[in-house]
Structure 1
């Protein structure tokens, strides 16, 4: 019989070779995570040492206190035995340890449950991310197509959803969002006016602050700031709501009953945001102009009437309707992104939070991309 010893401050791991080619793993002392535990790789070395053992057993006579660290070690030993098709005798271990090991072996480990260290190069990771973004865009466009089909069914009166749900979402997307839209857009108007005033005062052209704020808010900033607010507020809410319904299998229940989840759940949300964001955009434009007027009156001492007349002369209906049109498109993007991430949500509670985060990121990124595309198109058309 040969013995090999591996000790830690509070535990001891010893290997013995019995005459019948059995490897005896002796466990002694206190096996606690806080004290540091031996690795199962030590057992692997003994299993691969010639002559290789025909069986593995344990000696736990001197084993005292233990916690999950011992179980982790033993499960690692169990995996080594399974890989080598080596029989193991667990009977010498305490009854509680044996029961927990049997439970761990009875429930198979989920694929991907363990974090794996990536050894890919930067170029490979960049390629994987590019493919991932391309696939995400493909999924988004497919979902947009399905939503368009639902709108076509709505146009011919065949879409199935509850009108009361539409009214509830409209209230949530509209009246309930007035507070945050008021605060943010008023402050944006103040910031634009202040930054412009600092520069324009040098040339004695302070009155043109009204032009700067009015055109900026109506053409782009009003629609974009409203969209970003709604992406963080409403888009995340859509993803969380639909994600929770997927976790609780309510979406599956609708499908089982023959009701299209896309029409029943997604259509009211997209329609509500499509209708309400243009109204919020107009409201945001007014608040932005009010913020500019506040700075002009307090810092530049420009009378309110003069400021409003300059704003009226600078801002055209094309600017206003262009911003409203952008806001309507942004509303569709935000609603589709939120609902898509909700439908893609996993089946755990943490996945709901991840879906909400992804909805906000996707909505804001696509809104900014759409804003850039609109800027190019409007410039080409001379609008």
Structure 2
């Protein structure tokens, strides 16, 4: 006896323990621990002892039960295979949520500063790569740029066609509801035309491309990161930003203005369908549309689309290049690319509208 506690208590495991119901034995052990309060519990091997993985789970649960009662479980008399498996099972402590520390705000600040540092570093690499491309010293292949241009341009035409046509119809319906109160429904052409060329054409096309092409870029580069293809390029002395990022960004910068102009036309056609249904003749709609905007208005939307294309390509490629080394990281990079690109688009659109306002454009 020591401090009122029995020094040891022995259990002999005998017979067939394969798929045996062990809950009653565990309950017996729990009762003995509470009543006898031993310092050491010995598990010994009896006659014709056979065991399986369920027996291992039972022993592991008994060990944790003993730890709760400040008791030691001794399995040195059991087969060596059981001892090895138990050692392997307990080599890593269990994950306890309650032991996790509260968020460290300084650590959050450090992580944010690290993200900003990485963003600025990637931005600098893209700038240097663009400078090398202009001087003809880039590692980029034009064939890759053509493939990326096809992916960002012609392949996106069907979805841009559908959504742009519907956006034009929505603008026309909303405008007609308000303008009908004053008997000037014919001015719905002005609303649709100016709204598409200055704002909706470029913005809606950019959002479509962010969810389609920007996410595709992130997934492609993220998969290459997982397969260590980017590391292989670096080992060969090829700049990944030159070889992988610049062709994709240039393709989006070239494709976005063309898709925006196409989106403007489709939006006006969608508005025309609604206007004709409201009693406005096609000739009246065309006449009002021709008076609604100027070439300056068209160029403001095209200029926006160039900026939007660069931002979408940057967001997608940045997320892909910073991807981790697992399939889950590829999914995370794809989501990050879309969310970040849309955030860039909203901020850039607001900034450009403020700039246009102060410039009187």
Specify the TM-score bucket, using the shorter chain as the normaliser: 0.7 to 0.9
Q: Is the counterpart of residue 338 in structure 1 residue 338 in structure 2? A: no
Corresponding residue of 1:203: 182
Tell me which of 167, 170, 173 is aligned to 2:146: 167
Corresponding residue of 2:43: 58
Tell me which of 169, 176, 192 is aligned to 1:213: 192
Corresponding residue of 2:243: 264
Measured after TM superposition, the shift of residue 366 of structure 1 is 1.2
Check conservation: 1:30, 1:64, Cα contact below 8 A. no
Q: Is the counterpart of residue 222 in structure 1 residue 208 in structure 2? A: no
Q: Is the counterpart of residue 254 in structure 1 residue 240 in structure 2? A: no
**TM-score, normalization by structure 2:** 0.81
Higher-RCO chain (CA-CA 8 Å, sequence separation at least 6): 2
Check conservation: 1:192, 1:292, Cα contact below 8 A. yes
Check conservation: 1:181, 1:229, Cα contact below 8 A. yes
- Structure 2 runs not aligned, ≥5 long: none
Corresponding residue of 2:60: 74
Q: Is the counterpart of residue 321 in structure 1 residue 299 in structure 2? A: yes
Tell me which of 251, 264, 275 is aligned to 1:285: 264
Q: Is the counterpart of residue 145 in structure 1 residue 124 in structure 2? A: yes
Residue 313 to residue 177, structure 1, CA distance change in 2 (3 Å): same
Residue 276 to residue 126, structure 1, CA distance change in 2 (3 Å): farther
Which of structure 1's runs of 4+ aligned residues deviate more than 6 A? 22-29, 35-39, 62-66, 118-121, 124-131
Q: CA RMSD in A?
A: 4.1
Check conservation: 1:232, 1:360, Cα contact below 8 A. yes
Q: Is the counterpart of residue 239 in structure 1 residue 229 in structure 2? A: no
Taking the aligned partners of 1:339 and 1:31, their CA distance within structure 2 comes to 56
Number of residue pairs matched?
Answer: 350
Measured after TM superposition, the shift of residue 69 of structure 1 is 9.7
* More helix per residue: 2
Taking the aligned partners of 1:118 and 1:304, their CA distance within structure 2 comes to 71
Check conservation: 1:246, 1:252, Cα contact below 8 A. yes
Taking the aligned partners of 2:355 and 2:330, their CA distance within structure 1 comes to 37
Taking the aligned partners of 1:69 and 1:196, their CA distance within structure 2 comes to 74
Measured after TM superposition, the shift of residue 169 of structure 1 is 0.5
Q: Is the counterpart of residue 186 in structure 1 residue 172 in structure 2? A: no
Structure 2 residue matching 1:89: 3-state secondary structure: strand
Check conservation: 2:171, 2:192, Cα contact below 8 A. yes
Taking the aligned partners of 1:311 and 1:332, their CA distance within structure 2 comes to 30
Taking the aligned partners of 1:159 and 1:153, their CA distance within structure 2 comes to 5
Q: Is the counterpart of residue 89 in structure 1 residue 78 in structure 2? A: no
Taking the aligned partners of 1:201 and 1:36, their CA distance within structure 2 comes to 81
Check conservation: 2:129, 2:138, Cα contact below 8 A. yes
Taking the aligned partners of 1:98 and 1:168, their CA distance within structure 2 comes to 59
Corresponding residue of 1:10: none
Residue 198 to residue 146, structure 1, CA distance change in 2 (3 Å): same
Measured after TM superposition, the shift of residue 75 of structure 1 is 8.4
Measured after TM superposition, the shift of residue 343 of structure 1 is 1.4
Measured after TM superposition, the shift of residue 74 of structure 1 is 2.1
Taking the aligned partners of 1:179 and 1:32, their CA distance within structure 2 comes to 63
Q: Deviations over 1:343-376 (max 9, x none)?
A: 1211111211111111111111111111111122
Structure 2 residue matching 1:294: 3-state secondary structure: helix
Alignment of 1:83-162 (within 5 A): 89=75, 92=78, 95=81, 97-98=82-83, 100-104=85-89, 114=95, 116=97, 136-162=115-141
Taking the aligned partners of 1:22 and 1:379, their CA distance within structure 2 comes to 86
Residue 92 to residue 325, structure 1, CA distance change in 2 (3 Å): same
Q: Deviations over 1:203-236 (max 9, x none)?
A: 1111111111111111111111111101110111
Taking the aligned partners of 1:188 and 1:152, their CA distance within structure 2 comes to 38
Structure 2 residue matching 1:161: 3-state secondary structure: coil
Measured after TM superposition, the shift of residue 66 of structure 1 is 6.2
Q: Is the counterpart of residue 297 in structure 1 residue 276 in structure 2? A: yes
Measured after TM superposition, the shift of residue 140 of structure 1 is 3.1
Tell me which of 328, 334, 340 is aligned to 1:350: 328
Check conservation: 2:45, 2:77, Cα contact below 8 A. no
